[in-house]
Amino acid sequence: MPFVIEASTVLSWAFVDEKHPIADAAAERALQDRPLAPALWWFELRNGLIVNERRQRITAPATHAFLGRVSRIGIEIDRAPDEAAVLSLARAHRLTVYDAAYLELALRRQVSLAALDTDLTKAAEAAGVSLI
């Protein structure tokens, strides 16, 4: 069954010192189930890698190789969020619009969510979304 995957969850796969059981579980699940992400995921992931290149935690070639590995997973990008729902979720749970987009997608598609962000996971639990 598909599931929504947040950018920070995927980003943690690039760094040994950021291993996390949720990220590990999401990586395992991605081997059998197709992950979903809102369109902003593409930008968030790459921004996180560039920021870490500047901090000298990853090199440009390693970024390129990591993105190649991630692309083979086949994460489905959703480009049609329900704007009213995203804004409503952001207001109701005091989330950024970015985090609300992940929650909206999980709710709309009725799937679980893999996220490391505490505010997002609390909002997901409150909205009845199962977590990985």
Residue 56: inside a domain, yes or no?
Answer: yes
Residue 31 within a domain: yes
Residue 24 inside a domain? The answer is yes
The three-class DSSP label of residue 107 is helix
Q: How far apart are CA 42 and CA 121, in angstroms?
A: 20
- Report the C-alpha gap between 49 and 68 in whole angstroms: 13
**Percent of the chain beyond pLDDT 70?**
100
Place of tokens 């390129």: 64
Report in angstroms the alpha-carbon separations of 52 from 2, 12, 34, 61, 83: 29, 11, 27, 13, 31
Total number of domains constituting the chain: 1
> 132 in a domain, yes or no?
no
Average of pLDDT values for 70-74? 96
Q: What is the pTM of this model?
A: 0.95
What digits encode the pLDDT tens for the residues 5-53? Answer: 999 999 999 999 999 999 999 999 999 999 999 999 999 999 999 999 9
Residue 20 structural domain: 3-127
pLDDT at residue 58 in the model: 98
pLDDT tens for 75-122 read 999 999 999 999 999 999 999 999 999 999 999 999 999 999 999 999
- Where residue 12 sits, what CATH number does that domain have? 3.40.50.1010
